[in-house]
Homo-oligomer: A and B are copies of this chain.
């Protein structure tokens, strides 16, 4: 019998998720019913936000239940199809979870055209990550020509795309990240107008120098004290896109932005969004971004880490170390 290695949530993590929060099971591979497709995982998306779905309570989507496979984006190859639109050998992406073989309704899968970009990019720039940057900027930030957009976690999966999209829309992109090497990548490879290392002793001085007309849009992925520092440089009618808070996901007590009263004095706003609201526009956005990739205006980089399904927690841990550049994906090493 063909087997499937699956990683299931065993208990609610406290602070950062650790190996003991999960169990590994070996189960028979399912067979696709009519309309369903069975996919062998080649790459699993490693997202900091997954941590928020491991908590009890509710969020913008169902939390992962105790005993459940963790619901994450996966890219892989169709091995059996009960859907007329898919055949064995097709490359696809979808929410297939932390397992070697995932079953999904074909209508919920996306075909990955490898002539546009390699498979891992379909989890990054052309995946939910890139779409998050696209719709956050388009729907909430709405940068205008010549405005200044500051992106936090700018060398990360979402941030690196957000900054490039800001430039494509005619804004100035200033990236904030955690190392000089990352800064060099943002300005040297991706064309950011400026990049700042938030660990610099004079970070605020450098931020002022890089934003002479103050900040119109903040694409915030980090939260915490860094967001408070950036608040000090926000301009009139500034918009803070609340995309995430990587600095806070593993904290039991969240750091609230102490400088939020500047929203009043600046007539500014902080606003959130949920990518799933724009599902009917994913295909159009992907097509637009694929065009910019072909023109060389949008560049993506993946940080590929090999591991078995059982290694998922430790690969997630490496992401939180903040060393990675671009989109982190785990290339799935077969268990046997």
Contacts and interface: CB of A to CB of B under 8 A. Distances in A.
Copies, count: 2
Contacts of A254: 258-261
B269 A272 contact: yes
Interface residues of A, number: 32
A187 interface: no
A260 B270 contact: yes
B269 A271 contact: yes
B269 A270 contact: yes
Contacts of A223: 261
A272 to B, nearest CB: 3
A267 B274 CA distance: 6
A107 B244 CA distance: 48
Contact of A264 (B228, B255, B273): B273
A243 B264 contact: yes
A264 B227 CA distance: 15
A261 B273 contact: no
Interface of A: 59-60, 223, 228, 242-245, 248, 253-274, 277
Q: Which 5 A-B pairs have the closest CB atoms?
A: A256-B256, A264-B272, A263-B272, A269-B271, A256-B258
